[in-house]
Amino acid sequence: MRSLILRTIAPIVLHLTLIFSLFLLLYGHNQPGGGFIAGLMTAVGIVLQWVTFDADDGWHRYNWPWDRIFSYGLALSACVGLFGLLSGYFLKGSAYEFNLPFIGEVEVLTAFFFDVGVYAVVVAVLLSILTTFCDRRAVIRGAPK
Amino acid sequence: MNLFLPVPVLLPLVTAIALFLVRHHQKIQERLSNASLAVNLAFALSLLSATAGGNIFIHRMGMWPFPFGIILAADRLTGTMVVLAAAIVAACTLFAQGYLSTNQRREVFHPLIHFQLMGIQGAFMTGDLFNLFVFFEVMLISTYALLAFYYNLDQLEVALKYTFLNLVASAMFLVGISFLYAQVGTVNMADLSVKIRELGPQPLMVVTAFIFLFVFSMKAALFPMHLWLPSAHSISPTHIGAVLAGVLVKVGIYSIIRCAWLIFPGPFKVLQPMIMTIALVTIVWGALGTLPQRSLKRILAYSTINQLGYIAFGVALLSPLGMTAAIFYIVSHAFLKSSMLLGAGLNQKLTGTVDLDEMGGMMAKAPYASALMLVGFLSLAGIPPLSGFFSKLFLLQAGFTQGAYLATGLALLMGVISLYYNFTTYQRMAWGTGGNEAREAPATMYSSVSFLASFAVIFGIGAAWLYEWSHLVASQITRPELYINAMRNAL
């Protein structure tokens, strides 16, 4: 798209969406938010870049191995579930508290890592579906020309 | 056993992820997949033997208390169905490794079939209606992709048809769940059962039960919703068709059984005439549908519809005896029909066609393969001492005992048509002279077909044993209070 306004705004919006999605990801255990919605938010930010800077340019910039990323994300979530099984229940969450210098008390929940896995799956699946749809080389065998 | 209950869900999930990551190393992928399927089958068998004593195992995921959390539960029915799924999917995967040539996108087949297995086994294990929906989706999404496996236009059409119909069904499923939640405020099956009984007879609950009946009969391919099945069986790759006919449609039947006995016993009593009508129309439609077909796989597909009608007939009797017959039918039909579809695939590999008129003379060209098919056809036609005879016998016995003379008589009459189509099909396939030369097929294909076909004989000769087991299963599910108490007292 050649709109000057969009080209100026899009990079700024990308940063805002990324920060907000990070906020949702970190915030989501007991409050509204979480890995799924954060992943959607990030994917939307990146898709906006594709729309703005033409398919080819935006493509090369974000042409990461999405298929790999979503399988790692899924593996991470499954591992967190298995970690819960150690204490007798699948998907059982547990919390650990650390005392860090300068920052103070930090609480780490295993649910957070589960969320990170979900986040990776959502972002990567959405983007890999979109890349496949936009891929001009994909041809269906037997389809009428 | 309580601790290990998530294994049938987790093992396929972890395997699928691992298989996707090693998809460029075909040998490793194949070995890993086989090992995982073997472990899964072994676990399913140990689950079956653990549930045999009448224990109901419960696993509360995330340690959430009873009506709120996601609960996995295993009773005898679950054990039986999980073994069915594990054995048939394993045989079909083994078959596929011979059936697919190396360039046919094998690398995505293995992860997808494991995701499908996860969905199927999860649907059997879950004790929570919403999670039943989730596992249905896991199962369906991988099925959509597997149906369009070769990527050609015919298969895309089938996959699209299946996808659209099932999207409608899934939407209705969600609507049904929200109807239920609005009325009783829970989605746990045991809790639902108690609260629906407390609520007493209500028209809206009957409507809700009807929605669930509609959704599950879409999966089980009962009469008005059977349209996807013939083309899905005949155009999709054989091993996928065999999983569809053997296991996937049984998930629908399984859910109907759970609804009829556990969740909505009252409303299903009201709906009984309707279910009975659906079952009978399905029997007739499936039997008549086979007559004009030329393709072997399409005949088998219509025969599946016919047989599903019989199973639904057993469920529709809503009695312990009918339930016993239905369970017997489910088990014997699952092995039988998947063996026959794989046999059709074997014939396709040998002759390059599924058209009966082009096939001809298989008895002379490939004696062993057509002998395997003969066992299947004889069993489907209901010739003793094979499993098909006993499954029909017990069903008719249950029907007549209950006094449903007209309906049972119709079912019996349709048995004659099934006798006719099974014999003529085999005649056209095996006798006479055919045009095509027989080619070679790998030994793994023969062994997986033989493995599944052997159960037609085993369940025929050991019918008393299987009947005993079906009776045990039925006696447990027809007393829902056992299931409810097990969930309430779960630790």
User: Residue A29 in contact with residue A111, Cβ under 8 Å?
Assistant: yes
Tens digit of each residue's pLDDT (9 = 90 or more) over B263-283: 999 999 999 999 999 999 999
Q: CA-to-CA distance for B466 and B470, rounded, in angstroms?
A: 6
How close A43 gets to chain B, by Cα (Å)? 21
Tens digit of each residue's pLDDT (9 = 90 or more) over B231-247: 888 888 888 999 998 89
Q: CA-to-CA distance for B346 and B99, rounded, in angstroms?
A: 8
- Inspect the interface and report whether the beta carbons of A141 and B17 lie closer than 8 Å: no
User: In terms of residue numbers, what domain contains B285?
Assistant: 7-488
Q: How large is the C-alpha radius of gyration of chain B?
A: 21
Residue with tokens 């086989």: B34
The mean per-residue pLDDT over the stretch A19-28 comes to 88
Tens digit of each residue's pLDDT (9 = 90 or more) over B190-233: 999 999 999 888 899 999 999 999 999 998 989 888 888 888 88
The mean per-residue pLDDT over the stretch A79-102 comes to 83
User: Residue B211 in contact with residue B176, Cβ under 8 Å?
Assistant: yes
Predicted confidence at residue A59, as pLDDT, reads: 58
User: Residue B114 in contact with residue B15, Cβ under 8 Å?
Assistant: yes
pLDDT, mean over chain A? 81
Q: Which residue of A has its CA nearest to B157?
A: A143
User: Residue B207 in contact with residue B176, Cβ under 8 Å?
Assistant: no
- Virtual torsion, Cα B151, B156, B158, B160, nearest 10 deg: 140
Predicted confidence at residue A35, as pLDDT, reads: 87
Structural domain count, chain B: 1
The helix/strand/coil state of B100 is coil
How close A15 gets to chain B, by Cα (Å)? 31
Tens digit of each residue's pLDDT (9 = 90 or more) over B307-365: 999 999 999 999 999 999 999 999 999 999 999 999 988 888 888 777 777 777 777 77
- Inspect the interface and report whether the beta carbons of B14 and A141 lie closer than 8 Å: no
- Inspect the interface and report whether the beta carbons of B63 and A88 lie closer than 8 Å: yes
Tens digit of each residue's pLDDT (9 = 90 or more) over B53-90: 888 999 888 888 888 888 999 999 999 999 999 999 99
Chains A and B form CB pairs within 8 A to the count of 53
Pairing of strands B71-74, A104-109: unpaired
Interface probe with B: pick from A82, A90, A114, most Cβ of B within 10 Å: A90
Asked whether residue B292 is domain-assigned, the answer is yes
Predicted confidence at residue A145, as pLDDT, reads: 42
Q: Which residue of A has its CA nearest to B61?
A: A90
- Inspect the interface and report whether the beta carbons of A142 and B153 lie closer than 8 Å: yes
Structure tokens at B200: 């007493």
Asked whether residue B382 is domain-assigned, the answer is yes
User: Residue B245 in contact with residue B341, Cβ under 8 Å?
Assistant: yes
Which is nearest to B127 in space by CA: B48, B199, B68, B83? B68
Predicted confidence at residue B205, as pLDDT, reads: 92
Amino acid at B104: Q
Count Cβ atoms below 10 Å from residue B185 Cβ, excluding itself.
Answer: 11
Residue with tokens 């009918």: B322
pLDDT, mean over chain B? 89
Give B72's strand partners.
B59, B126
Residues in chain B: 491
Predicted confidence at residue B436, as pLDDT, reads: 66
Q: CA-to-CA distance for B378 and B128, rounded, in angstroms?
A: 40
How close B144 gets to chain A, by Cα (Å)? 15
- Inspect the interface and report whether the beta carbons of A92 and B17 lie closer than 8 Å: no
Q: CA-to-CA distance for B341 and B302, rounded, in angstroms?
A: 12
Asked whether residue B102 is domain-assigned, the answer is yes
Q: How large is the C-alpha radius of gyration of chain A?
A: 19
Count Cβ atoms below 10 Å from residue B5 Cβ, excluding itself.
Answer: 23
B-chain residues within 8 Å CB-CB of A90? 6, 10, 59, 61-62
Asked whether residue B1 is domain-assigned, the answer is no
What stretch of H or E contains B460?
helix B443-461
Q: CA-to-CA distance for B126 and B437, rounded, in angstroms?
A: 49
How close B438 gets to chain A, by Cα (Å)? 27
The helix/strand/coil state of A2 is coil
How close A30 gets to chain B, by Cα (Å)? 15
Tens digit of each residue's pLDDT (9 = 90 or more) over B30-47: 899 999 999 999 999 999
- Inspect the interface and report whether the beta carbons of B152 and A71 lie closer than 8 Å: no
Asked whether residue B2 is domain-assigned, the answer is no
What stretch of H or E contains B321?
helix B320-351
User: Residue B130 in contact with residue B187, Cβ under 8 Å?
Assistant: yes
7-36 of B, contacting A, C-beta below 8 A: 10, 13-14, 17-18, 20-21
Q: Which residue of B has its CA nearest to A144?
A: B153
Q: Which residue of A has its CA nearest to B11?
A: A78
CB nearest A89 (choices: B17, B60, B153): B60
